[in-house]
């Protein structure tokens, strides 16, 4: 079997290999991962150490030749012997700098380790023919969540239609995911062996930090950030802050409240303590709420409309789409009519109780985030 030892050799070999696979089309994204399969056979989770946007790597082509992948969106399980044959083929200098190869070696080692949950570990590979393709199974879905949390795609940058139905509800522990059925018996067996089992949650989505650690980010309570959250460099999520999947920040932001699924928060914005932003999971799931740059949602406030840039919602004011607002020109409109407008301060008149939208001046009381707090 030929070995390829330089990057030029690898590139040339990739090109030759792709031409021999009739109908092969490079995927939009792909990943080699290790899955946990529960005793029932269900996929409990998948970890992708080096998800890849674009399919121009030799590893993607090699795995396609082994699995039979040619195009479109599909997933495959790999036997240990198949993974061994791929690893034996690539041995370039500086191989430890190649994330795909390094992660493949780690995955191969994990296949030989016992699973404390009583299941098995299996190597898997997922290909996305297009980011707009719908998920086909849990293996595919986990790749999409990794693409978001590694910041390879922004929220709404990959299709997540039906993802809830693809994932398994798991008992998430310090030893990894367990199936709900039979967990209590397995826990007492592990305790008898001296193992301490700490339950972190009971959910379909794990916490992000067990799979992805984004650079330049602070998260005070890891339990409050789901895998699939997108946190940009400079973001700080405080103890009561929360970020759901397919949602997050696009720049340095302070998250002290709730960023619901589908919500995008712009650079320099602050979601205040106890504040909430309506997401896309309830109702039709099509209305996307966004917060522009340099905005503040005050403590215990909230929005059901989008904010443009440089906007403030005063503390305690929850602004739904149907809230009657006195606009800057004096007319009374539903808040939805002002969705996305810039430079507005939303407040409740302390004398009349009416909700007002006034144009923010240069002397506004809030001038943006404390830069020192976001040097992460």
Taking residue 87's Cβ as centre, other Cβ atoms within 10 Å add up to 17
Q: Six-digit token pair at 281?
A: 């999971």
CA distance 303 to 320: 6
CA distance 230 to 150: 7
What percent helix, strand, coil does the chain show, rounded to 5? 25, 25, 50
For 52, 216, 234, 252, 315, the CA distances from 238, given in Å and listed in that order, are 30, 14, 13, 13, 18
Q: What is the largest CA-CA distance in the chain?
A: 83
CA distance 371 to 348: 29
Decide: helix, strand or coil at residue 60. Answer: helix
Decide: helix, strand or coil at residue 18. Answer: helix
287 catalytic, yes or no?
A: no
Cβ–Cβ < 8 Å for 294, 269:
yes
Q: Which of 240, 256, 314, 356 is catalytic?
A: 256
Which residue numbers are catalytic?
A: 256
């Amino acid at each position: 079997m030929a070995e390829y030892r330089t990057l030029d050799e690898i590139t040339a070999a990739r090109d030759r290999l792709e031409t021999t696979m009739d109908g092969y089309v490079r995927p939009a994204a792909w990943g080699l991962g290790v899955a946990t399969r529960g005793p029932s056979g269900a996929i409990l989770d998948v970890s992708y150490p080096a998800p890849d946007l674009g399919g121009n790597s030799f590893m993607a082509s090699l795995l396609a030749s082994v699995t039979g992948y040619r195009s479109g969106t599909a997933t495959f399980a790999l036997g240990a012997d198949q993974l061994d044959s791929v690893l034996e083929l690539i041995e370039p200098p500086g191989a430890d700098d190649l994330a795909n190869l390094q992660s493949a070696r780690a995955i191969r080692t994990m296949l030989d380790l016992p699973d404390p949950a009583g299941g098995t570990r299996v190597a898997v590979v997922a290909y996305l023919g297009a980011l707009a393709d719908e998920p086909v199974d849990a293996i595919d879905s986990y790749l999409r969540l990794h693409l978001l949390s590694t910041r390879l795609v922004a929220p709404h940058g990959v299709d997540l239609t039906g993802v809830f139905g693809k994932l398994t509800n798991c008992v998430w522990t310090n030893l990894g995911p367990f199936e709900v059925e039979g967990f209590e018996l397995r826990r007492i067996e592990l305790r008898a062996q001296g193992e301490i089992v700490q339950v972190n949650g009971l959910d379909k989505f794990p916490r992000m930090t067990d799979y992805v650690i984004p650079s330049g980010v602070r998260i005070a309570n890891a339990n409050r950030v789901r895998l699939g959250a997108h946190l940009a460099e400079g973001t700080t999520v405080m103890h009561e802050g929360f970020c759901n999947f397919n949602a997050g920040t696009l720049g340095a932001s302070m998250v002290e409240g709730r960023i619901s699924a589908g919500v995008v928060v712009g650079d320099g914005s602050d979601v205040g303590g106890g504040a909430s932003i309506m997401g896309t999971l309830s109702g039709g799931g099509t209305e996307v709420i966004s917060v522009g740059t340099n905005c503040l949602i005050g403590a215990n406030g909230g929005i059901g409309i989008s904010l443009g840039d440089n906007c403030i919602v005063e503390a305690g004011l929850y602004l739904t789409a149907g809230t009657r607002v006195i606009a800057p020109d004096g007319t009374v409109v539903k808040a939805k009519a002002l969705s996305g407008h810039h430079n507005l301060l939303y407040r409740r008149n302390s004398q009349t109780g009416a909700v007002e939208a006034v144009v923010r001046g240069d002397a506004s009381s809030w001038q943006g985030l404390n830069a020192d707090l976001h040097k992460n």
